[in-house]
Structure 1
Amino acid sequence: MPRRRPAALRAEHTPRIADFLAPPARIHGLSGRTSAAAARVERLSGDYYLYVGATDDALRRYRAFLRTPGRRPLYPQDAQCSCRGCSFDDVRHARDVLDEVVRRLPPRPRGELRVHLRALDDRYLRRTLADPFAADRQWRSDRWWRRRLSGGREEDAAAGR
Structure 2
Amino acid sequence: MERLSYDYFVFPGVTDRALRRYRAFLQPPGRRPRFPREAGCSCRGCSLDDVRHARDVLEKVLRRLPPRPRAELARQVHVLDRRYAERTLPDPLAPHRPWRSNRWWWRRQADGPEGT
Aligned to 2:43: 83
What whole-Å deviation, never above 9, does each CA across 1:11-37 have from its counterpart, x for those lacking one? xxxxxxxxxxxxxxxxxxxxxxxxxxx
Q: Is 1:59 aligned with 2:19?
A: yes
Gaps of 5+ in 2: none
Q: Which residue of 2 aligns with 1:123?
A: 83
TM-score by length of 1: 0.68
2:44 maps to amino acid: R
RMSD (CA atoms) = 1.4
Aligned residue type for 1:146: W
Higher alpha-carbon Rg: 1
Deviations 1:65-103 (A, max 9, x none): 000233210000011110112101100000000000000
Alignment partners' CA distance in 1, 2:81 and 2:10? 20
Partner Cα distance (2:22, 2:59) in 1: 12
Aligned mate of 1:111, from 57, 67, 71: 71
The alpha-carbon deviation at position 137 of structure 1 amounts to: 3.0
What is the number of equivalent residue pairs in this alignment? 116
**Which is worse superposed, 91-100 or 103-112?**
103-112
Structure 1 gap ranges (5+)? 1-40
1:146 is the counterpart of 2:106: yes
| Deviation, structure 1 residue 138 | 6.8
TM-score by length of 2: 0.93
What one-letter code is carried by the residue in structure 1 that aligns with 2:4?
L
Match of 1:92 in 2: 52
Answer yes or no: is the 8 Å Cα contact 1:138–1:147 preserved in 2: no
User: Contact between 1:131 and 1:147, CA under 8 Å: does it hold in 2?
Assistant: yes
Q: CA deviation at 1:136?
A: 3.1
C-alpha change, 1:138 and 1:67, in structure 2 (3 Å) is farther
Cα contact 1:130–1:148 (8 A) shared by 2: yes
- Identify the structure with bigger relative contact order (alpha carbons < 8 Å, sequence gap 6+): 2
Match of 1:3 in 2: none
Q: Render the CA deviation track for 1:96-116: whole Å, top value 9, x for unaligned.
A: 000000000011111111111
